[in-house]
Amino acid sequence: MTKIDAARLWSLNHRLLMSVIATVAEDVGALGLEVKELFVLSEVDEHPYPAELAAALVMPKPSMTVYVKRLEAAGFLRREIDAADLRKHRLLMTPAGRKAMQRGLTLLADAFAERLGRLSGSEQAQLRGLLEKLC
């Protein structure tokens, strides 16, 4: 594969993802979230420390601080001192945050499923296998 073909594949993938996100942005906004905040919430359980969360989402730490403050102000996250290391704050999703996250992820999944519906079952399985191989 040439570099140009790889760049084209990257561009198509990016366009697909941005198109799906744009499709649901208004509905996610109605939940009180920006789409990036939805992604933050979706990773909090697995990465409960802000620096770890920023690294997992490939996001600058100052940006993560802004998102955490906004999510905390909205009542979707709370911070508590880590009992194992009193210098650290651990992020915990509130019930309202979990509900908004689940609804937002459902919106994204439904919009993506609509796109996947353009593929046959075997094409979807092939795509999944290829993506897993690339990740």
Cβ count near 97 (within 10 Å):
24
Mean of the per-residue pLDDT values of the chain: 94
| Length of the chain in terms of residues written | 135
Q: Pseudo-torsion of CA 68, 16, 99, 71, nearest 10°?
A: 10
Alpha-carbon span 91 to 72, nearest angstrom:
9
Q: What integer pLDDT is reported at residue 84 of this predicted model?
A: 81
pTM summary value: 0.86
* Amino acid letter for position 17: L
The CATH code of domain 3-134 reads 1.10.10.10
Rounded to 5°, angle at Cα 41 from 37 and 42? 115
Domain map (residue ranges) of the chain: 3-134
**8-state DSSP, 93:** E
- Given a contact cutoff of 8 angstroms between Cβ atoms, the answer to whether 92 and 82 are in contact is no
User: What DSSP element (H or E) covers 74?
Assistant: none
**8-state DSSP, 84:** T
Q: What is the pLDDT of residues 62-114, one digit of tens each?
A: 999 999 999 999 999 999 998 887 788 899 999 999 999 999 999 999 999 99
Rg (CA), the chain: 17
> How much is the average pLDDT of 47-58?
95
Catalogue the E-assigned strands of 9-96: 77-82, 85-93
Look at the alpha carbons of 110, 112, 118, 122 in this order and tell me if their dihedral is positive or negative. negative
